Amino acid sequence: MRGFPGDFTIDKERFKLADWNPLLLAVAFKRVDIVRYFVNELKISLRLALRDPQAPALTEHAALGTTTSAVDDIFGLRLAVANRDMPMLQELWHSLSNNSFWNQNHQSHLIHELLTAKWQAGVTLAMRSSHTIFEALSLESKRALIDQLFAMRTTKELDEAL
């Protein structure tokens, strides 16, 4: 089921909604009730449904023996961040945190998106609810992340964004 008209913009990049599945549309239009239905009742695969629709298919990765891109995997989360939709981010983050494919690359990319968006509440959510992933980061990665958080906290732009 595809073909919804219109576009959606993330960081000045436009995406055609016609390529999106119903779950991505629900995330983009802030319908957490529909997302919960897909996750809890229909038991859809978030790994498949939240991927960037323009990304190579998982079957292509399997055929080539390559891994998927964490950036492609978190596309649905990027939508929630672009909307600054905390209930949606919480729902997706909670559902994905219990998923075995979710790892520190995914968390790092999500935190990068949150830092770029200067959304402190989102960063707080990602850091508090996934301490085990943070603990798995290398010391260098932890330091870089903490430096980004402090830089974000001290910018005037952050205060204006909040």
Q: What is the pLDDT of residues 43-56, one digit of tens each?
A: 988 888 999 988 87
pLDDT at 162: 44
Maximum mean pLDDT: which of 13-17, 32-36, 139-143: 32-36
The ranges assigned to domains in the chain are 7-161
Q: What is the pLDDT of residues 16-47, one digit of tens each?
A: 888 899 999 999 999 999 999 999 999 988 88
Angle formed at CA 35 by CA 31 and CA 36, multiple of 5 degrees: 115
Average confidence (pLDDT) over 70-93: 92
Say which residues have a Cβ less than 8 Å from residue 23's Cβ, sequence separation at least 6: 34, 35, 38, 44, 46, 49, 50, 76
pLDDT at 17: 85
CA separation for the pair 118, 53 (Å, rounded): 25
CA separation for the pair 58, 41 (Å, rounded): 24
Q: What is the pLDDT of residues 97-131, one digit of tens each?
A: 766 566 667 777 888 888 888 888 888 888 776 55
* Continuous H helices in 84-138: 86-97, 104-116, 120-128, 131-136
